[in-house]
Structure 1
Amino acid sequence: MSSEYRIHGIELSPYSVKVRSYFRYKGIPHRWIPRSLDVGGEYQKYSKLPLVPLVVTPENEGIQDSTPIIERVEASHPEPSIHPADPVTKFISALLEEFGDEWGNKWMFHYRWAREADILSAAGRIARSMMPAVDEAQLANGIAMVRERMVPRVSFVGSNSVTAPQIEDSFRDTLAILEPHLATRNYLFGNRPAFADFAMWGQLYNAWTDPTPGAIINATTPNTLAWIHRMLWPRIEGDFEPWSSLAPTLTPLLQRQVGRLFMPWTVANAAAIAKGSDEFSVELGGRTWTQKPQKYHAKSLIALREKYQAVGDKGALDSILDATGCLAGLRG
């Protein structure tokens, strides 16, 4: 039996490249299979949802959803670990992994489909990746189809005329926080990648490939740009750091982005799902955010709360989470 995993994904999917980066770091034999219209047999056979990435294991089992994929593979390939040994730092990494997947996706998706230059760039690249052997007329039709399908979907991540400035402010503030943090270390939690790196990176790498957010990153955050390049082929360059050395530059991310914006948003979203509401509004950092609720994020909040409950001695962790506004949402 082959020991090779097969990863079906596309370069413009932050979750696909997140999984690929993880496999590269772990040194696990794998094959990257671009998801295109003419490579559909195995994908159609093993996928339960029309989403990427799809990972097919050496035992020919299909797995979808990037976080469960990584958690499943990490259980069978535990070294080198992506989790710090310290329970406090380990949970904060898991919290930032969730933040990257669920809030960071708002940055990437909004910027990709909000402006004409980004729309043309993304629609063209997606169409070419899905239809690699077509003539110009067919490609033009494909680009138009991608555009028609994707632009209206910005509402799914909460992007609208009211929230657009909030999303872009959040993106810029996160970059401003990460830049000094990454000036003295190669990865978010030290000199080896953690769980959080893969999720945060998948969104920021994809944003960097688009004209508008890419120009912001290139012009303002050289340390973050170096990390984006480094995470394409991550490797161990040292050890994880203790929270005491990470806290001065990572606490602002927990405070200004996770506790102030993401946690109240995800709690309000879950409450709206529980009530069966068609729309919800919540105050985030003094501004009103309104959108349709997202079912998946309610499920991922449950999983995050389970990880929090699994922490044994919560004393030190709760002190950090309470001071940054993250604790109440995790306790439910």
Structure 2
Amino acid sequence: MSRATAPYVVYGAPPSLYTGKTRSYMRKMGLPYVERLPSDPAYAERVMPAVGKLWLPVLEAPDGTLVQDTTQIIDYLEACEPVASCYPAGPRQLVAALLIELYGDEGLTRQAMHFRWSFPDYNGRFMAMNIGRLFSPTASEDEARAVAAGTMRHLAGYLPAIGVTPETIPVVEAQYFDLLAVLDAHFLHHPYLFGGRPSIGDFGLMGPLYAHLGRDPYPAMLMAKHADRVQRWVERMNAQEIDSPEFPGLAPAFLAGDEIPQSLQALLALVARDYLPELQQSVAMLNDWLTVNAVEEGAPIVPPGTRNTLGTIAPVIRGVPHPQRMRHYPLWMLQRVTDAYDRLAAPDRQAVDALFAGVGLGDLPRLRTTRRIERRNHQEVWGAPVESR
């Protein structure tokens, strides 16, 4: 039972990728909450001034505490509430789950944005109504379209900055269909990534696979057509109960013995092929930038008023360069993976090393920035220099 004296408030939105992640966690953990749109007066009056801009979602605890980042929301709730933790205890499962959270949160951005914004004939009206009615829930169709038009142009125009171009679109789409095939094969035999209950990796995947790819008309049709077990997992992740009648008698627990089934190893191999090059280039670019730029601990990584990037990268993925802005936030999440790895005992690190070497991720545990990235006051800031290992 929750320790909360009143329901939590989640300021979010139905089409919001990260609200989908947070909402799923709240439901699965049985936590009392109400969801409010950014049109709620409290959002403009109290929440947005506190977090600095229009961020979704934001969690408001009964005591007034505001938490903005979805990963930090989950960690806050794990610390406050007597929930069945979404972090597996097994070392291989834990590090793999954290990596899959990173992949879901950040590595599927191109697929989520492409399938939402590159098909206006299928998705256009749906998105106009969804966005326009966030701020005016009872708006007429014409009113909603007028409210949404500027936001939709801005978001669709963002595609090249994240690496979605005519040259990369065939790769972006092939990656998505390969992901559906891998996940469909896994969910045929397991209700969740690591067995009988959802992990932090499941919640990371839930954001893009529900809010964009499982809800927008065009990609939702593709998911239903090509990956019915993935669609079923999305339904399951939106249910409050475990919702796994296909697996009678299965305990709501992570797989015993720190098992990583072959079907999940196939997902890790996909992460290695399709996302590791971007992480490697991002780390290299940031470390090169730090050799010629002095920074102060605690200072924002990207100062207010800038374009929210320190430079550009062009990782080669499936033989095709993907020019894009380098995003530093994924490196904060990568740090969570390597921090978890570092806390392991030597035999457990060796077990993770063997797993990762077998799927093409052998370099990942040693992929480090030369300065820590921290999150303070709802933004990323420079941490302390990292000692050489």
| Same-fold status (TM-score > 0.5) | yes
Residues 128 and 145, structure 2, Cα contact 8 Å, conserved in 1: no
With normalisation by structure 2, the TM-score equals: 0.79
- Taking the aligned partners of 1:37 and 1:57, their CA distance within structure 2 comes to 16
- Taking the aligned partners of 1:307 and 1:142, their CA distance within structure 2 comes to 44
- Taking the aligned partners of 1:234 and 1:288, their CA distance within structure 2 comes to 42
RMSD over equivalenced CA pairs, Å: 2.1
Matches within 5 A, 1:1-332: 2-36=5-39, 40-116=44-120, 117-206=122-211, 207-236=213-242, 238-242=252-256, 246-255=260-269, 257-276=270-289, 278-312=311-345, 313-332=348-367
With over 3 angstroms needed to count, the CA separation of the structure-2 counterparts of 1:242 and 1:163, relative to structure 1, is farther
Pick which of 58-67 and 289-298 moved more: 289-298
Query: Which has the larger helix fraction?
Result: 1
Summarize deviations over 1:100-148 as a string: whole Å, max 9, x none: 1011232111211112222442233111222213344432311322222
Pick which of 127-136 and 313-322 moved more: 127-136
Summarize deviations over 1:149-205 as a string: whole Å, max 9, x none: 211112343222222222111111010001111011211111111111111012101
SS at match of 1:208: coil
Count of aligned pairs between the two proteins: 331
Residues 89 and 243, structure 1, Cα contact 8 Å, conserved in 2: no
With over 3 angstroms needed to count, the CA separation of the structure-2 counterparts of 1:66 and 1:156, relative to structure 1, is farther
Query: How far is the alpha carbon of 1:63 from its aligned partner?
Result: 0.7
Larger of the two Rg values belongs to structure? 2
- Taking the aligned partners of 1:129 and 1:252, their CA distance within structure 2 comes to 38
Summarize deviations over 1:277-318 as a string: whole Å, max 9, x none: 632222223332221211222332233322222222311111
Pick which of 228-237 and 162-171 moved more: 228-237
- Taking the aligned partners of 2:133 and 2:191, their CA distance within structure 1 comes to 34
Residues 37 and 131, structure 1, Cα contact 8 Å, conserved in 2: no
Residues 107 and 168, structure 1, Cα contact 8 Å, conserved in 2: yes
- Taking the aligned partners of 1:204 and 1:184, their CA distance within structure 2 comes to 19
- Taking the aligned partners of 2:124 and 2:312, their CA distance within structure 1 comes to 27
Pick which of 4-13 and 137-146 moved more: 137-146
- Taking the aligned partners of 1:201 and 1:137, their CA distance within structure 2 comes to 32
Query: How far is the alpha carbon of 1:45 from its aligned partner?
Result: 4.5
- Taking the aligned partners of 2:46 and 2:339, their CA distance within structure 1 comes to 33
- Taking the aligned partners of 2:362 and 2:52, their CA distance within structure 1 comes to 35
Summarize deviations over 1:17-46 as a string: whole Å, max 9, x none: 211111111112211112226553343353
SS at match of 1:55: strand
Structure 1 unmatched ranges of 5 or more: none
Residue 366 of structure 2 aligns with an amino acid whose one-letter code is R
Query: How far is the alpha carbon of 1:6 from its aligned partner?
Result: 0.9
With over 3 angstroms needed to count, the CA separation of the structure-2 counterparts of 1:27 and 1:186, relative to structure 1, is same
With over 3 angstroms needed to count, the CA separation of the structure-2 counterparts of 1:75 and 1:327, relative to structure 1, is farther
SS at match of 1:32: strand
Query: How far is the alpha carbon of 1:208 from its aligned partner?
Result: 1.4
Residue 315 of structure 1 aligns with an amino acid whose one-letter code is Q
Residues 131 and 144, structure 2, Cα contact 8 Å, conserved in 1: no
- Taking the aligned partners of 1:245 and 1:195, their CA distance within structure 2 comes to 16
- Taking the aligned partners of 1:124 and 1:154, their CA distance within structure 2 comes to 21
SS at match of 2:218: helix
- Taking the aligned partners of 1:83 and 1:287, their CA distance within structure 2 comes to 35
Identical aligned residues as a percent: 26
